Amino acid sequence: AYTQRIYSSRQIAKSVRENIPFMWLAARQRPDFRTINRFRSERMRDVLEKIFTSILGFLIEEKYIKLEHYFVDGTKIEANANKYTFVWGKSVAKHKANLQEKVKVLFTSIEEAERQEEQELQDRDLPELGESSEVTSVKLEQAVEKLEQKLQEQPKDKPLKKAVRLLRKDFLPRLKSYEHHQEVFGERNSYSKTDPDATFMRMKEDHMKNGQLKPGYNLQIGTEDQFIVGYSLHQRPTDTRCMKPHLQKVKSALGKLPGTVIADAGYGSEENYAYLEQENVEAIVKYSTYHKEKTKKWKQDISRIDNWKYDTQADLWTCPGGQSLYFHRESKQKTESGYEILLRHYRSQDCMNCPLKAACSKATGNREIRVSMQYLRYKQRVQEKLRSEEGYALSVRRMIEPESVFGQLKNNRGFRRFLLRGLSKVSLEVGWLSLAHNLLKWATMKQKGRVWVEI
């Protein structure tokens, strides 16, 4: 069905009743659309990956795929979710903080009303909330229960009764709701209420021309000769942190990684370079400023350390003004994924009398730079590979490898929006699409080869 641009379970059920090839494949059975949907989204959950890997093994045996060059790229596909049912992480955090402050103010007023407790506790928090400044729904629930017990002893205390009602009916449900939102977020900044696994991203398909964010998923694929060798689905809108989990999935499926990975500048980071080096994979991956460094404006910018000189023996940098920046200290910076970047700080001795200071730095004191020497080595290695004849040819080939596959899936096959909801089910849809694409590609190449032999 996926090879014939039929994705809806109802349309598949209709084809089984009306289309002769579908009748033959179904052995004249007429399953209901619900049965078809359960089959593809539940029954095939543990089997589809194995089938896809088996087809890849067949293509490798038949020499269609060599696992030499692996071209990685990503695209965003809209989720089956309402674009207006959004929940934003910053908004939830803001409202939660305001609510926690209101809870503290309310308990402070209760404390002031009860002079006896104020004398016992002095300047500490109420025992109902504990000593911690963080107000959680569990602590608030326990505090409300204690206040309700006090209310039973003092049923005529109207301020206490009003406070308990406000906590029970308003504050506590809202706090639980905010905590639920933050639990769903995980590491994300947004999600859709219709499909909580979908993240709001900017799509190329912007019919309103206003840069509207839509719920969707980031699809990462790796191709060789326009066969899909690996695929993975991610909830992050950017590609940088998707490469490592994507390649880990490919390695677990195939048992090894391809010899060379080619990707665009969206994947160029020290963490990705380090992972590829660790796996003994040649990386032809541009870094984020690769094309900017070739411009005239960049080369004439004296504030860029790319235009400075570095003395490896003395371990110092020399700026265009002739000032030497000596090593000062080291620091570590952690990425969101936990990768540690070692930064070396270099500081100049005297920049106050330098005529180029205004163009070099906006700081009032001496210039200080932070440099990751490991990242500079990776950049130099990438530059050498991209300048080589083979590296340049592969980087040019990358423009037509995965992009052609995305064109087939989105434009020719008309798949621009997922039909299922949830990360696990949507991943199955991508698996069906990838499997159908590889089978169609293999059939086309085999047919062309057969025609060539007959001629």
Q: Tell me the C-alpha distance between 142 and 288, whole Å.
A: 51
According to the model, what pLDDT value does residue 346 have? 92
Taking alpha carbons only, the member of 170, 172, 171, 192 closest to residue 181 is 192
According to the model, what pLDDT value does residue 374 have? 94
Residue 210, exposed/middle/buried by CB under 10 A (0-12, 13-18, 19+)? exposed
Q: Is the separation of the CB atoms in 128 and 107 below 8 Å? A: yes
Q: Is the separation of the CB atoms in 139 and 127 below 8 Å? A: no
Mean pLDDT per block of 10 residues along the chain (455 residues) reads 84 88 87 86 82 90 90 92 90 90 82 58 52 76 85 80 87 91 91 93 77 90 93 92 93 91 92 94 92 91 90 90 89 90 91 84 85 93 92 91 91 89 91 92 80 36
Taking alpha carbons only, the member of 277, 270, 285, 266 closest to residue 341 is 270
Q: Tell me the C-alpha distance between 16 and 365, whole Å.
A: 76
User: What are the backbone angles phi and psi of residue 348, rounded to the nearest 5°?
Assistant: -80, 165
According to the model, what pLDDT value does residue 127 have? 52
pTM for the model stands at 0.84
Q: Tell me the C-alpha distance between 195 and 80, whole Å.
A: 7
According to the model, what pLDDT value does residue 133 have? 62
Q: Is the separation of the CB atoms in 257 and 282 below 8 Å? A: no
According to the model, what pLDDT value does residue 102 have? 86
152: tokens are: 């039973």
Q: Tell me the C-alpha distance between 199 and 79, whole Å.
A: 9
Give the other-Cβ count within 10 Å of 349's Cβ: 9
Q: Tell me the C-alpha distance between 36 and 27, whole Å.
A: 14
CATH superfamily of 44-82+200-289+383-448: Ribonuclease H-like superfamily/Ribonuclease H (3.30.420.10)
